[in-house]
Chains A and B, each alone.
Chain A
């Protein structure tokens, strides 16, 4: 049984989470449902939950306020939010779990199974630290990469290129490469606003790391780590637009 706390200022939202929890008998042990940050700050250290469903807007405070004030965090978090593009981007960058309200049953079930897989893995300090980095406006983004041993943090500007390998993706930086078990499409969407360009079905490059461009029947680019990345015929014109 996972010791669980729900923090949400709207009853119908916490009720919804409760009804979804009921579908997973013997999985959750709900210790408390809390509707304000102050009480949460008082109760959470006392009750020592393993999991917190955390709303983002809680009266005039936010779930982030709660996390920053609580100090040490030794529980898992699943954020729940209605629609906040900015925060969602930050969650994705930091590889944190979140559910969009109104919560879809399948999405909830998927989150539960991810939770079961990861519960024992190291604490969330690093991911949350990355989250706060990413939430700062105009900050250089950092990306959290789940790896076999835990999590790794990469600066987006240091990523040179990515290559798809079936449902895995290799991420190349000047220090070498990392493999993650996410499809390249995930990173394509995530990095779309950050000077990344899909040159080929299985290649995503950081435009800022392009060293040279070779034209020809099969054109390609030379990246700052001297890797050659092909550019598909259909993407060539679009690619060249970035350099005009």
Chain B
């Protein structure tokens, strides 16, 4: 049948309206079967050109509509789609006999606005649909309106339209819609404070899904159920539905529902005081949420991510608990975003969308890491500054102005170099070594030459061609000096060495100090020295994430002193 239509088109010689109609018919039949076929846009464009030459409004308008569909659903370019829909709508609107088309177009326009969170525009499109007598699925329109109000947190209006939609869909025996509406209604009712009604709605929806095996609704219904039970403080059931939703979603890979389920799960963990998992889950949620919304909000989230990353290793202090609370509130709002906007189940579209989202997600992750890298490094500088200022203050107190003045000169030089390098992700090993020398010279002076240092570079390493993150060893050297050597009676020694091992650069700091166990500061305050260490570890983690390597830090307690080995991916400059 399709082939015969294709034959007719292929053998048709005249470019008239009949030809246009044949092409339109062919498009309508076949386009949705092969959405991945990238030649559709060209085909439809040709139909459009012929229609324009013939001055045939129906052909032009339908072609615009088709281009809208191609952009909206096949190419995941909703805004491009919107332009075409609007062109199509402008033509159709003049001819009442095309009202069925107008309904489809306005629905799509409304959906795009809804996705883009342009709620007022979405409502305008949807509401105008209710005026068309040809609209025989008004319950569908009401459902969309209810979803829009729900997203806007206008819960009363949302409930009002869901109930209207429910009446219509029940009359028309549209089970799928009934279940879908109840899924969403339950959540909105719960959020609006109608706790009991909410439970009734979601359970009715879950029953319908079980009875009729409505698989397409299972994941969103579970997601909403988890959130509803959470608000009802039924943590056990909430966790059951959240994890079930995530499990089922693994094969479906719908990022939107996954996002909501993760938010709920994070809240569940918070309730259970399992902060570590709460944080992990929330971070996953954030990444997903971000990949689903536009670029402006990305930065905001990136900032949040960094905040979390920075706090991750700290004990759960009061501040952290406060923040967790604020996460909870934020994600109750975030999580209640209604999931089931498009029941017309554009699986194809979603798949495409998910692929696009994933690449955006990866891109975003890289960006987050980049920012983090900068943020972390910026923490190094104050650390430095205050230690050195302390030393200068010390000299002044001891009335040793000459030393204070000398020290200041060195310190200024180091600051200049550090500031210059802080903008760089990587510097040459040779530069880094000279930076470390300046640093150690300062520290030697500060500690009255209580220690010596040596720097060894393996013979076949070319320090002028190896790139390293600036001052990655500095916190370890600082620890060696301050905690290991400064407390030692005899002259201490820090040995810094660089060597290659497989595809890694091993950078080591080896001291003959008192060791970690005997360090007084360690005994009194186990947290005190971990700051620089934690920053370095995070920096290495990020490098690993960015470069897909497995660099790490290894600490060895020797009989006398401590040894640190930092392995980094071997990076050559040229």
Inside 8 A of B573's CB, which chain A residues have their CB? 201, 234
Contacts of A100 in B (CB 8 A): 412-413, 416
User: How far is B402's CA from A235's CA once the two chains are assembled, in angstroms?
Assistant: 47
Q: Which of A16, A101, A106, A232 contacts B574 (CB 8 A)?
A: A232
Binds A, one of B227-235, B272-280, B376-384, B403-411: B403-411
Taking CB atoms and an 8 Å cut-off, the chain A residues in 89-110 that contact chain B are 100-107
Assembly CA distance A232 to B574 (angstroms): 6
**A201-B464, A201-B465 known; A104 and B574 CB under 8 Å?**
no
CA of A101 to CA of B413, assembled, Å:
9
Asked whether B572 is an interface residue with its Cβ less than 8 Å from the other chain, the reply is yes
B438 to chain A, nearest CB (A): 9
Instruction: Give the size of the chain A interface in residues (CB under 8 angstroms).
Output: 17
A16-B405, A100-B416 known; A201+B574 contact, CB < 8 A: yes
Task: Mark contacts of B460-472 with chain A using CB atoms, 8 A cut-off: 1 yes-contact digit, 0 otherwise.
Answer: 0000110000000
A8 to chain B, nearest CB (A): 16
Q: Given A201-B465, A234-B572, A235-B574 in contact, is the A104-B405 Cβ separation under 8 Å?
A: no
A19 at the interface (CB under 8 A from B): yes
Q: For chains A and B in complex, what number of residue pairs have CB atoms within 8 angstroms?
A: 34
- In angstroms, Cα B406 to Cα A110, docked, is 15
- Are the CB atoms of B409 and A200 closer together than 8 Å? no
Q: What distance in Å separates the Cβ of B544 from its nearest Cβ neighbour in chain A?
A: 20
The 0/1 profile, CB within 8 Å of B marked 1, for residues 165-192 of chain A is 0000000000000000000010000000
A105 touches B406 (CB 8 A): yes
Chain A residues, Cβ within 8 Å of B572: 234
Chain A 16-47 interface mask (CB, 8 Å, partner B; 1/0): 10010000000000000000000000000000
* Pairwise interchain contact A200-B406, C-beta atoms closer than 8 A: no
Shortest CB–CB separation between residue B364 and chain A, in angstroms?
A: 23
Tell me, in angstroms, the Cα distance from A135 to B406 when the chains sit together: 31
Closest to B402 in A: A19
Find chain B residues with CB under 8 A from A101 CB. 412
- In the bound complex, residues from chain A placing their C-beta under 8 Å from that of B410 are 104-106
Instruction: Name the CB-closest residue of A to B408.
Output: A102
Instruction: Determine the chain B residues whose CB is within 8 A of the CB of A201 once the complex forms.
Output: 464-465, 573-574
The 7 sampled A-B contact pairs (Cβ below 8 Å) are A102-B412, A104-B412, A104-B413, A107-B413, A201-B573, A234-B573, A234-B574
User: In the complex, given contacts A102-B408, A106-B410, what are 14 additional A-B residue pairs having Cβ atoms less than 8 angstroms apart?
Assistant: A16-B405, A19-B402, A100-B412, A100-B416, A101-B412, A102-B412, A104-B410, A104-B413, A198-B574, A201-B465, A201-B573, A234-B572, A234-B573, A234-B574
